[in-house]
Amino acid sequence: MQKKGKFIVFEGIDGSGKSTQIKMLAKAFQKRGLDVCETLEPTFGIAGEVLHEILSGKKKADPKVTAALFVADRLDHLTNPENGVCKTLDEGTYVLCDRYYFSSYAYQSVEVPKEWVFSANSLAAETLRPDCTIFIDVAPEVAMERISKNRENIEIYESLERLTAVRCAYMDAFDSMKDVEKVKVFDGNKPAEKIAREIEEFVFGELV
């Protein structure tokens, strides 16, 4: 795909502070007069709606079905003719995305064979690889404390054991993809403003 904007993905375990960092980075783009768009997965599109119900426990599904829905949601997110990521990038807008296929590699491969998750996501990877994936690395204990303070409803994936396994699965996935993916890890245990400054320095120094 011939794109004019850049696709920057944020990843991290639940409670890592991704969404705060995305907001701060979007402001930094705007300050520089650059067109920027924030988006996230799961989306609220056709497959995304169902995923939100599964994540909140309202609907039950086998982990393989959930994994397949994440793939469907991702493809819809990319190709949707109204507001799809590919179209937005083509228009020259920078896209900051909260979660992409590394989330599936990390979360779904805890329950579904890793090879299946990788191959099921290959169409998305061939269609659009991130210009960079920014991983906010926070200790699972810190993340869990933030989650229990800030949330009314704890989602199905939010337990200390699970977050620890997911963090491990992220590290595994980064390692197995190191030849094809650009991943930059930031220490998410620092104060939010300090992390934001480090991310800003990296993005405007090396990516944009």
Residues near ligand TYD (CB under 6 A):
14, 41-42, 55, 70, 98-99, 103-104, 107-108, 155, 157
Q: Of 32 and 151, which has the nearer Cβ to ligand TYD?
A: 151
Residue 206: strand, helix, or coil: helix
Least distance (Å) from ligand TYD to the CB of residue 169? 10
Nearest to 156 by CA among 106, 113, 107: 107
Report which residue's Cβ sits closest to ligand TYD: 107
Least distance (Å) from ligand TYD to the CB of residue 101? 7
User: Tokens 């609220």 sit at which residue?
Assistant: 44
- Angle of helix 160-176 versus helix 140-150 axis, rounded to 10: 130
Q: Of 35 and 155, which has the nearer Cβ to ligand TYD?
A: 155
Q: How many CB atoms lie within 10 A of CB 61?
A: 14
> What's the distance, CA 103 to chain centroid?
6
Residue 113 preceded by cis peptide, ω within 30: no
Q: Of 16 and 88, which has the nearer Cβ to ligand TYD?
A: 16
Give the integer Cα–Cα distance in Å for 93 and 3: 9
Least distance (Å) from ligand TYD to the CB of residue 185? 18
Token pair for 98: 């909260």
Least distance (Å) from ligand TYD to the CB of residue 18? 6
Q: Of 38 and 155, which has the nearer Cβ to ligand TYD?
A: 155
- 41 and 97 Cβ atoms separated by less than 8 Å: yes
| Residue 36 bridge partners (DSSP) | 94
Residue 188: strand, helix, or coil: coil
Least distance (Å) from ligand TYD to the CB of residue 47? 11
Q: Of 5 and 12, which has the nearer Cβ to ligand TYD?
A: 12
Give the integer Cα–Cα distance in Å for 93 and 34: 8
Least distance (Å) from ligand TYD to the CB of residue 51? 7
Q: Of 19 and 30, which has the nearer Cβ to ligand TYD?
A: 19
